[in-house]
Structure 1
Amino acid sequence: MRRLLSCLLPLAFLLTSCTMGYDSFQTASVVKSRFKDTKPQDFGRDRPQRHPIHGIDISKWQGDINWQSVKGSGVAFVFIKATEGKDRIDPRFAQYWNEASAAGLLHAPYHFFYFCSTADEQADWFIHNVPKDVMALPPVVDVEWNPDSPTCRTRPAPETVRAEIKRFMDRLEAYYGKRPIIYTSVDFHRDNLVGYFKDYKFWVRSVAKHPKEIYADRSWDFWQYTSTGLIPGIKGPTDINVFAGSEQNWHNWVAAVKKEGNS
C-alpha cells in the first residue's frame, strides 16, 4: 500500500496542476506581503499573499513610471488600459506598452466596454490601436456598470449584454489568436454573468472579501484585491492583482498562451 501511494501521489499532483481551478490553491506557507497598501483589508486565511504571482493594472492616472523599479519589486505582469468605447484611447497606452516591453514585463491590453456603442465598432477601434504582432498575453475586456460616466450610463438587458460581449470577444479572438480574459465587478457579474462564459478566464474585482464569498459559481484566474496599493516606481495608489495558481501554473499558462499566438 505504501508503495502504491508513493506512485499515485505524484500523478495526482500532475493532474491537479493541469486544471484551471486555481481558486482552491494554497501555498505551503504564507509569504509576507511584498507591497504596501494604504488601506489594507484583512482577508483572513485566504489573503492574496498566499499566491506567489502578483501583478498590476494601470492607466494614464499612474503618470510617469520607473519600470525597472516596478519589475524589481516583484511585479510579474501588467494589464495596461488601451481603449474605451468606439473612439477613446488612453493617452499613455503606447508609452506604457513600449516601456513595459523594454523592461521585460509581461503585459496585456484592456478595453473598457461601453454599451452605447456596438460590439463591432469597439472591436474595430481596439484592433486599430493595439498591435497584433506584440500581443504576449490575451487581451482583456473590462465589463462593469459605469454610473458616473458623463456619456454612457446605459444598462441593457442581460441577454443583450452577453450577446454584445460575446461578439466583441469573438472578434478579438479571431484577430489576435488568443481568447480574451473577462474583467468584471461584483454587481455587474451578479446582474449579467452568473452561470455564463465558463470557458473564459475571469479577472474579478473583490477588495473587501475573498472572491469565493461573493462571486457565485465562478472560478477565477486573476483577483484584483486592492486599489490602494503602493508599488515601487509608481507614484500614488495602484491596483494590485494576484494570479490564482502556483508559480509553475503561471509559467505553464504563459507558455500555452504564447504558443496559441504563434499557431
Structure 2
Amino acid sequence: MALRILAVLLLLLSACGPSPEQFNGRMEIGDTAPVVFSGRQPKRFPIRGMDAARFQTSVDWERAKAVGIEFAFLKATEGGDLKDIKFDDHWRGAGRAGIVRGAYHFYYFCTTPEVQAKFFIDTVPRTRGTLPPVLDMEWNPFSPTCQRRPDGATVRNEMQRWIDIVSAHFGQKPIIYTTPRFYQENGLSAFKGVEFWLRTTAKSPAEAYPGQSWRFWQYTATGTLPNTPGLVDINVFNGSAESWQSWLEQRTIR
C-alpha cells in the first residue's frame, strides 16, 4: 500500500511540472529586462560579478559562484554612521563561496569626508586578497536629511580627501563608482590615475561616458541568480580572464 501511495504522489508531482525553485533556479545568470547595447555585449565579457546591499536579503553565494559570479562589491557604509544591515552576512557568505569581494561606501554630502572615511575604515576588515575599496558617488534625491548639492570643484575636493585617507589605510587606491548624470555634472573626467566602475543600463559606456576608460561596468539592475530572490545588479570586468588574474595580483589588498 505504501509503495502504491508513493507512486501516486510521484505521478502527481511530475504532472505539475517543475517546482518554482527548479524553474527559476536554472544554472545561469539571467536578466528580466535585457538590453541590446551598441558595440560589445555584456555576455561577451568573460568575467562577471554582482553587487549587493540590504535589498538583497538572501543570496545563495555558492550557486552564484557556480553560475559564474567571480566578484562582488558589497555595500558597507553610508555617510558617517549608517552601516548596511546585510554587510556582515554578505561579506562572510561571499568569502566562504570563494567569490572575490570588496566593500563600497555611499557618499553623504552633509558629513565631512574625514568622518566618512574613518567610519568606513572602522567598519570594513582589512582582509588580504579582497578588492580595493569603492567610493559610490551619485546624487540621492530621496535623502530626508541632506539636500546639499555642492558644485563640482567642491565635490571633487571632498572625494579626493576621502580617497587619500582610505588609500593610506588599505594600501590600494579606491575605485570610483558613478552614474552618467553625476559624472557629467561634477566633471569627474578630471580624475586621473583612478579606476572607474560605471553604471549605465541603457547605453554602452562609450556612449554614456565618452572618452572615459573604465574597469567595471554595471550594465543591469534587473539581473537574476539561481536561488536568490529578487533582482540583482550585474557587472562585468573590462578585460580577459588572463587580465583579470593579473589585475587581481596588482590591486587586491595585501
Q: Provide the C-alpha distance between the structure 1 equivalents of 2:215 and 2:123, rounded to a whole number of angstroms.
A: 26
Q: Equivalent residue for 1:246? A: 240
Q: Provide the C-alpha distance between the structure 1 equivalents of 2:168 and 2:227, rounded to a whole number of angstroms.
A: 36
Deviates more, 1:85-94 or 1:135-144: 135-144
Secondary structure at the aligned position of 1:248 is classed as: helix
Q: Equivalent residue for 2:216? A: 222
Q: Provide the C-alpha distance between the structure 2 equivalents of 1:135 and 1:141, rounded to a whole number of angstroms.
A: 19
Deviates more, 1:61-70 or 1:160-169: 61-70
Q: 1:204 aligned to 198, 206, 228, which one?
A: 198
Following superposition of structure 1 onto structure 2, how do residues 1-263 of structure 1 map, counting pairs within 5 Å?
34-134=28-128, 136-258=130-252, 261-262=253-254
Q: Provide the C-alpha distance between the structure 1 equivalents of 2:223 and 2:127, rounded to a whole number of angstroms.
A: 32
Amino acid at match of 2:98: G
Shift of 1:196: 1.3
Shift of 1:234: 1.4
1:141-165 deviation line (CA, Å, top 9, x unaligned): 0000111111222110111100000
1:154-206 deviation line (CA, Å, top 9, x unaligned): 11011110000000011000001011000000000001134311211100000
Normalised TM-score (structure 2)? 0.86
Structure 2, unpaired ranges of 5+: 1-27
1:70-90 deviation line (CA, Å, top 9, x unaligned): 110100000000000000000
Rate the CA distance shift 1:101–1:90 in 2: closer, same or farther, 3 A. same
Structure 1, unpaired ranges of 5+: 1-33
Q: Provide the C-alpha distance between the structure 1 equivalents of 2:161 and 2:66, rounded to a whole number of angstroms.
A: 39
Amino acid at match of 2:202: A
CA contact (8 A) 2:76 2:124 kept: yes
Return the index of the structure with the highest Cα Rg: 2
Shift of 1:135: 5.8
Amino acid at match of 1:122: Q
CA contact (8 A) 1:123 1:171 kept: yes
Rate the CA distance shift 1:135–1:115 in 2: closer, same or farther, 3 A. farther
Q: Equivalent residue for 2:6? A: none
CA contact (8 A) 1:135 1:176 kept: no
Structure 1: 4+ residue segments shifted above 2 A: none
RMSD: 1.4
CA contact (8 A) 2:183 2:189 kept: no
Normalised TM-score (structure 1)? 0.84
1:191-228 deviation line (CA, Å, top 9, x unaligned): 11343112111000000010101213210110000000
